[in-house]
Amino acid sequence: MPHPSTGRRARRARRSRVAWIGWLFALPAVVMYATFVLRPLLLTVQYSFYDWNGIGSSTWVGLANYGRLVTDPELFATIGHAFELILFFSLIPVLLGLFVAATIRGIARSRLATVARTVLFLPQVIPLVAAGIMWSWLLSSTGLANELLSAVGLGRLTRAWLGEFGTALPAVGIIGAWVLVGLCTLLLLAGMSKIDPALYEAARLDGAGPVREFASITLPSLRQEIGVCVTVTVIAALASFDIVYIATQGGPGNSTMVPGLEIYYLAFSEREVGMASALAVALVILVLACVIPLQRFARDAR
Amino acid sequence: MIVSRREVMTGRVLLVLLMAVTVIPFVSLFVTALHPAGTYPSGLSWPENPQWGNFADAFRVAKMGQLLLSSGLIVLGVVPISLLLGTMAGFAFGHLRVPGHKIGFVVFLLGLTLPFEGIITPLYYQIRDMGLLNTRWAIILPLIGLFMPFSVVWMRAHFVTMPDEVSEAARIDGAGTWQLFWRVHLPLATPALSSLAILLFLWTWNQFLLAIVLVDDPAKRTMAGALGAFQGQWGTDIPLLCAGALLILVPTLSIFLIFQRRFVAALLQGSIKG
């Protein structure tokens, strides 16, 4: 520490006086957080061990709800769907974002890129509900997607994308990809602008092409930004609710049912509060199990 | 920077393509909204007779005036209080470094990734027992709690960068801790605060799950929640639905376009810290 030791001693003495009073500053935040987040979170864990319809008395059932979660194919499938959505919510935006950002790196300061910064952010600003409504219409049987297919001679592929078993989940995934690709592109582009241009100059002088440049300079330098993109998008995929609720309500059948929506239906339509809570606990753990290793990965970069 | 002309061209083409893909859904929404109510227009066709009246109809049937007021009240309830509480706690953890501040911080950090679905069930019963179901408080109070992790982490990140000397000087002038916070540190935190305010506004306005679970009356919900109800009611009248959806987007979109620089910066920083 660069300060002289007298200053430090004085500071320490003052700090101990101020010390506990300081908690008064944190207290209101702690109270709100404890009342509206921590308490419900603990109650979710407690409810998950009971069979309760939300009105009458509840019965202790131990781990039975969790047992049902892994044995009931319909419930377990929701978790599978969430992971399938990761392919669309995370993989497509991150790969596409990397590709686009690397390609437009050279023109990052042009006027076009400035406009793009605003345009690509539009999906982040609107409610996901609105994205769901727009895309339900685009992907409907008379929507733009099918019209484009017919226009290029692929008319036999047209269908109600959100209404058929085979295509509904990928179609929901595409909506998520649309929402997240702009954010990922701009995050990665911002990361790239921090890379020392001298590295690229040197690579060019050594005769490296764009591909080589990307693999040996861009990608390694972006570890932290990639970590952020993957974290944000994986959480969006696992905890997806708004888009699915609007676009498919989990259907057709249960083909797009995700944990968030299933929790909602179980708790508020089917009155299986215990089961809903067990699934909620599983979802929270699942998110943490995905996010913590990702954070480790991103932090190691520094 | 050495960039070949061909790379510049591919870059431009790619960027324009990506922008087109981003914008087309908005265009489609707009064009569809102009078709006669009750029809099923196809694709991106411009109507022969644009029905600008659809917007007026949607404004009326969606009770847009009420919705704006309701969302505005909710934002006014959530954002200032969240900012204040988050800043105070961030100050305590990041600058005062109260005893046990590391543990306190980690407890908030853990809440950062919590999906709202994880607590929605008990939250419903808790709000019911507090007698707040179907009031705007049912959205406001839980949202403040749910925003605390991000607000505290965000503001703490600002306060750890403030040098101790700032406080030393104020202390020598006889400032108490509260004065130190209110007179010295709060004004210095304005940039961090305004970015946080933008993010909290956006997340409140667009909040859907809490609105549909805790408030039945769409006129007391957030904009996103109201849009959900609007879709349920008018989902079969595509042009009207599109007009309504567009109207609901107007407030956020216009605020975004006015403050776009701050917004983009805030959203980028927001995802990095989040």
Cβ neighbours of B121 in A, within 8 Å: 40, 44, 47, 263, 267, 273, 276-277, 280
Give the residue from A25, A41, A94, A194 with the most B CB atoms within 10 Å of its CB, the best one to mutate.
A25
Which tokens belong to B255?
Answer: 């605020």
Rounded Cα distance, A120 and A135, in Å: 17
Min Cα separation A106/chain B (Å): 6
Q: What percent of chain B has pLDDT over 70?
A: 97
Q: State mean pLDDT over A73-77.
A: 92
**Domain boundaries along the sequence of chain A:** 5-47, 72-300
Pick from B117, B125, B151: which is nearest to A239 by CB? B117
In this complex, do A21 and B118 lie within 8 Å of one another by their Cβ atoms? Answer: no
Q: Is B22 on the interface with A (CB under 8 A)?
A: yes
Q: What is the pLDDT of residue B257?
A: 86
Min Cα separation A166/chain B (Å): 23
* Domains recognised in chain B with CATH numbers: 64-232+251-273 (1.10.3720.10)
Buried b (16+ CB within 10 A) or exposed e, B81-113: bbbbbbbbbbbbbbbbbbeebeebbeebeebeb
Q: What is the pLDDT of residue A213?
A: 83
State yes or no: pLDDT of A18 exceeds 70: no
Min Cα separation A28/chain B (Å): 6
Q: State mean pLDDT over A17-23.
A: 74
Shortest CA distance from B232: residue in chain A = A246
Q: Which residue has the higher pLDDT, A180 or B39?
A: A180
Rounded Cα distance, A204 and B19, in Å: 29
In this complex, do A142 and B40 lie within 8 Å of one another by their Cβ atoms? Answer: yes
H-run or E-run covering A50 = strand A50-51
In this prediction the pTM is 0.89
Q: Which region among A59-63, A212-216, A274-278, B197-201 has the lowest average model confidence (pLDDT)?
A: A212-216
Cβ neighbours of B263 in A, within 8 Å: 121, 125
In this complex, do B252 and A125 lie within 8 Å of one another by their Cβ atoms? Answer: yes
Q: State mean pLDDT over A242-252.
A: 91
Q: Tell me the pLDDT band of A9, cut-offs 50, 70 and 90.
A: low
**CB contact at 8 A, A136 and A243:** no
- Residue A192 corresponds to which amino acid? M
Q: What is the pLDDT of residue A78?
A: 95
Q: Is B93 on the interface with A (CB under 8 A)?
A: yes
Homologous superfamily (CATH) for A72-300: MetI-like (1.10.3720.10)
Pick from B92, B123, B238: which is nearest to A40 by CB? B123
Pick from B8, B89, B238: which is nearest to A26 by CB? B89
Give residue-wise pLDDT tens across range B15-56.
899 999 999 999 988 988 888 877 777 667 777 778 888 888
Mean pLDDT of chain A: 87
Task: Report in angstroms the alpha-carbon separations of A255 from A244, A259, B45.
Answer: 11, 12, 32
Give the residue from B15, B71, B117, B201 with the most A CB atoms within 10 Å of its CB, the best one to mutate.
B117
State yes or no: pLDDT of B184 exceeds 80: yes
Buried b (16+ CB within 10 A) or exposed e, A63-78: ebbbebbeeeeebebb
H-run or E-run covering A229 = helix A223-238
Q: What is the pLDDT of residue B1?
A: 47
Min Cα separation B135/chain A (Å): 16
Rounded Cα distance, A157 and A161, in Å: 10
State yes or no: pLDDT of B3 exceeds 80: no
Torsion sign (Cα): A224, A226, A227, A228: positive
Rounded Cα distance, B121 and B210, in Å: 10
Min Cα separation B61/chain A (Å): 18
Cβ neighbours of A280 in B, within 8 Å: 117-121
In this complex, do A36 and B152 lie within 8 Å of one another by their Cβ atoms? Answer: no
Q: State mean pLDDT over A92-120.
A: 86
Min Cα separation B167/chain A (Å): 10
Mean pLDDT of chain B: 87
Q: Which region among A147-156, A267-276, B91-100 has the lowest average model confidence (pLDDT)?
A: A147-156
Give residue-wise pLDDT tens across range A80-95.
999 999 999 999 999 9
Pick from A33, A39, A123: which is nearest to B22 by CB? A123
Cβ neighbours of A137 in B, within 8 Å: 28-29, 32, 238, 241-242
Q: Which region among A251-260, B108-117, B236-245 has the lowest average model confidence (pLDDT)?
A: B236-245
Cβ neighbours of A23 in B, within 8 Å: 92, 98
Min Cα separation B20/chain A (Å): 9
Task: Establish whether the linkage from the previous residue to A123 is cis, with ω within 30° of 0.
Answer: no
State yes or no: pLDDT of B115 exceeds 90: yes
Q: Is B236 on the interface with A (CB under 8 A)?
A: no
State yes or no: pLDDT of A141 exceeds 50: yes
Place of tokens 């990761």: A86
